[in-house]
Amino acid sequence: ATNRNAENTSPRSVVLSRQRKRRSAVLRPAAQNSKLTPGRTPPSLLPVTAAPQPPSSPVKRSVRNGEVKLKPHNHPQRQRHSWKMRALVSLGILAILTLGACGHSCLKGPDHKPVPSPEEGMAACTIYSNASCCHANFTSQLAESPVIAVDNYYWNRCGNLSAPCENYLRNIHCFYQCSPHAAHWMHANFTAAIVHVPLCQSFCDGWFDACKEDLTCVRNWMTDWTVDENGNQCKNECIPYSQMYENGTDLCLSQWGDSFTPSQTSCHCLELNETDELAYKHIIEANSEESGEKHDCQRNPPVAVEVPKNEEEEEDD
């Protein structure tokens, strides 16, 4: 017994005893405080998992001289998507600038396109097919002759129009609905309408001559009809154009309200046909005032002066 007590009091045994007591003191509180229930793992024994890491940032950090600098990762896929996006944006901006530079846009009518675009299969109004504000199905209403109605708007309330008169009315409808230039004369308060479009005096006079024997029952084709579910109806009796309008100027100023106005300047007015492209350049382009073509267009043709016969003889003598 004396030997055993001596061993227990040796320095090594004292150190081991103290270590065992420390382990027991550390483990005992956790075991005593844990409230275990059948089938439940003690909290102290749950596996420790790493906290979820945020997705890798598209930038990397570099430290130089105590300063943190952020540099983007050069990811090939991101670079490809970024290049495609920049290309699409550039093309969109180019298209907008091109349309704006050319003066091409559309009226805000219910049947107009948002912006002009090429249109295939147009049955009429084909001069606007490269940049059209109307759809091809609209033009089918104007393709047959005689034209009966366009969008429930009847042309034959006083009988069918003659072919020459009908052609003028067709050109007017094509310009209003399909031309990418019509929006240049967009009404400020009613964006589906045009106002003061300059028609050449020759167009107005030709229109009157073509329709003077045709019949109409209203002077203003925009406001003077009675309109119901069956379309536009006459209020008054039908009379010839030559009685309703005095001449071509009166016809251009009256039949479509203030939509049109006659113009004596040949290079600043429209004939509503293929020859209008030069006029569009002078009217719409901002730099047209300095263009040489404008001065050439405005230059009056030489006037032939007839010399009296007796004066010619005197000069010969």
Contact 282, 291 (CB under 8 A): yes
Q: Is the peptide bond before 11 cis (omega within 30 degrees of 0)?
A: no
- Dihedrals φ, ψ of 295, to 5°? -65, -40
Q: Which amino acid is at 10?
A: S
Distance of CA 37 to the CA centre of its chain: 70
Per-residue pLDDT of the chain (317 residues; tens, 9 = 90+): 455 554 555 666 655 666 666 665 544 544 444 444 343 434 333 333 444 555 554 555 555 555 555 555 555 555 555 555 555 544 444 444 344 434 578 999 999 999 999 999 999 999 999 999 999 999 999 999 999 999 999 999 999 999 999 999 999 999 999 999 999 999 999 999 999 999 999 999 999 999 999 999 999 999 999 999 999 999 999 999 999 999 999 999 999 999 999 998 878 899 999 989 888 888 866 444 544 444 455 433 433 333 344 444 444 54
In a domain, 26, yes or no: no
In a domain, 231, yes or no: yes
**pLDDT at res. 176:** 97
**pLDDT at res. 314:** 46
pTM (2 decimals)? 0.61
**pLDDT at res. 278:** 86
CA distance 142 to 123: 8
**pLDDT at res. 36:** 40
CA distance 264 to 298: 11
Q: Which residues contact 216 (CB under 8 A, 6 or more apart)?
A: 158, 238, 239, 240, 241, 244
**pLDDT at res. 79:** 55
Structure-derived torsion over alpha carbons of residues 91, 97, 103, 104, reported in degrees to the nearest 10: 20
Host domain of residue 118: 105-298
Contact 279, 264 (CB under 8 A): no
In a domain, 27, yes or no: no
Half-sphere exposure of 135 (CA within 13 A, CB side): 8
In a domain, 169, yes or no: yes
| DSSP code per residue over the chain | -HHHHHHHTSHHHHHHHHHHHHHHHHHHHHHHH----TT---GGGSPP-PPPPPPPPSEEEEEETTEEEEEE---HHHHHHHHHHHHHHHHHHHHHHHHHHHT------TTS-SS-B---S-SS-GGGTTSBSS-HHHHHHHHSSS--EETTEES-BTBPPPHHHHHHHHHHHHHHHH-TTGGGGB-SS-TT-B--EEEEHHHHHHHHHHHTTSEES-S-TTTSSEEETTEEE-SS--EEHHHH-SSHHHHHHHTTTTSEEEE--GGGSB-SSTTHHHHHHHHH-GGGGG-HHHHHHHSPPPPP-PPPHHHHHHHH-
In a domain, 288, yes or no: yes
Beta bridge partners of 200: 263
Number of structural domains (the chain) is 1
Q: What count of residues does the chain have?
A: 317
CA distance 9 to 239: 140
In a domain, 162, yes or no: yes
Sign of CA dihedral 114, 272, 185, 130: positive
**pLDDT at res. 301:** 40
Structure-derived torsion over alpha carbons of residues 108, 218, 164, 128, reported in degrees to the nearest 10: 0
**pLDDT at res. 199:** 97
In a domain, 128, yes or no: yes
